Structure 1
Amino acid sequence: MADAGLFHMAIPRAIGGGEIDLPTYVQVIEEIGKADASTGWCLNQGAIFGTYAARMPRAVARTIWADVPRAVVANTPAATARAIVVPGGYRVTSPPGGQGFSTGCRHASWVAAHAQITENGQIRMEGAAPEARYMFVPVAEAELLDTWHTRGMRGTGTHHFAVKDVFVPTERTVLSQTATLVEDAPLYRIPRTLLFASGDAAVAFGMSRTCLETFGELAGAKTPRAMPTLLREQPMVQMTVGQAEAALRSGRAFLYEAVREAWAASVNNVLALEHRANLRLATTHGIRLAAQIIDSLYNAAGATAAYEDNLIQRHFQDIHVITQHLQGRLAHYELIGRYWLGLKIDEARL
């Protein structure tokens, strides 16, 4: 995938990336997700984190994403590291136990330590909040910790990493929340959290389609114990498949509609809170629908789906890791409900 340029498809053209449109991007991630959820997830995380290149000077962005062969940056969401200001940059140290949820760190060229800034012994503030930056550290200068022991999405390798007193020059850092655009293009006007969410939902729908196809093969071959006919001949199974197909098609249509509308608004520089709320709802609902689809097929498959080497089992485990992720939180329904009811909301979640 790196050789094909997929990890760089969201990076600005000015530094050699694809600067892809969001509807096409979502299609790409969905197709990869059909083949393997963990692979699609890794691609989405690496590609969308690459949009930080649009918020850095071109020359610096090139040193990170263009000058290093097969460059991929693995990040970590919480700013739990400490970066002490020194001449020319920062000395960065992770907290005890390292920084977690660094998807794809074992194939990354860089890790992006996420740190609060300390200057003269005090937390440096940016307005009312502590200043937080991503610090780009060559992966050889970090320790990758073997922590990703999960039931699902094992292939993402979402381990912790640690850095200890590593020097990072100022130019190789970026404000994690408030960095302004250097490359103003439609993709980069859409909040990054919604770009991540769009890809995550696409992975979920991709694996749902494969799960349906896999179940169809099983239903045509398996006669359950104490039952007179193949699975596919049973009315309850037929209803399950019909409902799953309807849920998949409707949820996927909602996702792509929301993606297209947000993209068109961003192209015309009129992206509004309504577009963002719609995309948040479509992505969260998509992940949740995918879980319902896969659960229903898992239940219909019977004991066959209990074995580790069964693909439906893997889909079942994978989707129930995805639903635990920030992008799949049930609380997003409350957020959008508040928005549509005209109540005050935390717009940063959109």
Structure 2
Amino acid sequence: MDATPGVSLVERARALAPLIAGEADEIERTRRLTPAVVSALIENGLYRALLPQSLGGAEAAPDVFMQMLEEIAKADASAAWCLGQCSVCAMIAASLDHDTAHEIFNTPPGILAWGAIAHEARAVEGGYRATARWDFASGSRQANWLGAHVRILSGDGTPRRHADGSPEVRTILFPVASATLHDVWNAIGLAGTGTDSYEVRNLFIPERFATFRDVPQALREPGPIYRLGTGSAFSLGFAAVSLGVARATLEAAIALARGKHQSLAASAMRDNQAVQGLIGRTEGDLRAARAYLYATANAMWRDLSATGEFSNAHRTAVRLAATWTIHQSARVVDAAYHMAGATAVFRSNPFERRFRDMHAIAQQIQARDTHYEDVGKLILAEGR
């Protein structure tokens, strides 16, 4: 890592924003992060935000990780999404033996990506064999390692189960060169994330490259961030990305309102009381969403750091705050987009892409409405 000592991850991210913003059109056009952006993120250590310190990572607290992603998202949502995805994937290092983790994360570029849980791997002598295809591997075009979450089958093909009867699920890790990547990511937003599919056939995965994800008993690192788990880290990270997109879109609308004369209007938008009121309310909505997300994250982090336990109550609180923040950010973007009028529909202006990116974020698993149902069910069950 070539990052300047003593300069925080957030400061580095903020310093990189002009470069990333300048590359945003090319990221959109080529549907991948540009070499200049990837190199800058690597050289400044941003992909290593959640990697253990024992491996040269920052092992950052959640609020630092979130602020880092906000700053990048203000410049380009796809860059922030890839950075958030691969940073959280690196948390798996805490469940690997040191030599294995060193091989994966300290061999340049040291980037791991993975997709959704699916399919099986069969236990064989010395490891596992897998033939499968997985989807939604954001950041895979920058990665040199891929992972997959699979149900484990015994040698005779029967599912392996834990003592409570639940299926045994492991995360298997393998070099990108061992897989075939399928360019399938032609989406309305987050175009540059390269959220592709990937496939392996009869691939042997040595035992040391298969581990349990988000299982405290499997952890080999003492840092409390690893007890948070990747699921909740993804929620906080992607909610922070949505805040960055919302802030950039609202700022663009404010800048437009300061100078634009609407058609047939005698004065600038800045003097229109309806516009003034909309900006005030939207600013309040965005500040409230950010305050709620960070208050939830910080309360969780204080307790987790003190006790070493990530409670179910905090897990639920993080899920609720992240989901609501993404939805609220989408409302902010919608308000800013409509405020801009016809200006917003042109690709040359800073609204159309962010509108599409924000609504792609809002369709992801972290923003599902069913999360509200889960939280409501728990609230209604209290006191039984």
Per the normalisation by structure 1, the TM-score is 0.92
Find 2:110's aligned residue among 71, 87, 110: 71
C-alpha separation between the residues in 2 aligned to 1:327 and 1:206? 16
What residue in structure 2 maps to residue 348 of structure 1? none
2:136 is paired with a residue whose SS is strand
Determine the C-alpha separation between the residues in 1 that align with 2:202 and 2:259: 59
1:108-158: per-residue Cα shift (whole Å, max 9, x none)?
A: 011113322222222222342332222111111111111111110111111
The equivalent position to 2:306 in structure 1, one of 261, 264, 268, is 268
8 Å Cα contact 2:214/2:227 also seen in 1 = no
Among 107, 116, 125, the alignment partner of 2:142 is 107
Task: Give the unaligned 5+ runs of structure 2.
Answer: 1-40
Corresponding residue for 1:317? 356
Match of 1:334 in 2: 373
Q: After the TM superposition, which parts of structure 1 deviate over 6 Å for at least 4 consecutive aligned residues? A: none
Is residue 79–residue 132 contact of structure 1 (8 Å, CA) maintained in 2?
no
Aligned-residue offset at 1:72: 0.7
| Paired AA for residue 156 in structure 1 | T
Q: How much identity, in percent, do the aligned residues show?
A: 35
Matched, 1:283 2:322: yes
Letter in 2 for 1:83: A
Q: Please give the alpha-carbon distance, in whole angstroms, between the structure 1 residues aligned to 2:350 and 2:185.
A: 21
Please tell me whether residue 147 in structure 1 is matched to residue 176 in structure 2. no
Contact 1:84/1:92 (CA < 8 Å) preserved in 2?
yes
SS at match of 1:107: coil
Aligned to 1:347: none
2:5 maps to 1:5: no
* Mapping for residues 228-267 of structure 1, pairs under 5 Å: 228-267=266-305
1:26-47 deviation digits (Å, cap 9, x = unpaired): 1111111111111111111111
Taking only aligned residues, the RMSD between alpha carbons, in angstroms, comes to: 1.8
1:48-197, aligned counterparts within 5 Å? Answer: 48-66=88-106, 68-80=107-119, 82-94=120-132, 98-119=133-154, 120-127=156-163, 128-176=165-213, 178=215, 180-197=218-235
| CA deviation vs aligned residue, 1:210-253 (integer Å, no higher than 9, x gap) | 11111122212322223322222222211211111001111111
The answer as to whether partners of 2:117 and 2:148 remain within 8 angstroms in 1 is no
Q: Distance in 2 between matches of 1:324 and 1:343?
A: 30
Per-residue CA distance 1:69-91 (angstroms, 9 max, x = gap): 121111012222x3222221122
Tell me by how many angstroms 1:177 deviates: 5.1
Amino acid of the residue matched to residue 53 of structure 1? A
User: 1:281-319 deviations in whole A, cap 9, x for unaligned?
Assistant: 221111111000000111111111112332211111111
The aligned counterpart of 2:239 is 201
- Structure 2 match to 1:40: 80
How far residue 343 of structure 1 moved from its aligned partner, in angstroms, is 4.6
Q: Name the aligned partner's letter for residue 377 of structure 2.
A: R
Partners of 1:136 and 1:38 lie apart in 2 by 24
- The answer to whether the Cα contact below 8 Å between 2:214 and 2:229 also exists between their aligned partners in 1 is no
Alpha-carbon separation, structure 1, partners of 2:210 and 2:347: 42
Paired residues of 1:83 and 1:118 also in contact (CA < 8 A): yes
Deviation at 1:206, TM superposition (A): 0.9
Give TM-score, length-normalised by structure 2.
0.84
* Structure 1 unmatched ranges of 5 or more: 345-350
In structure 2, the CA distance between the partners of 1:21 and 1:162, relative to structure 1 (3 Å rule), is same
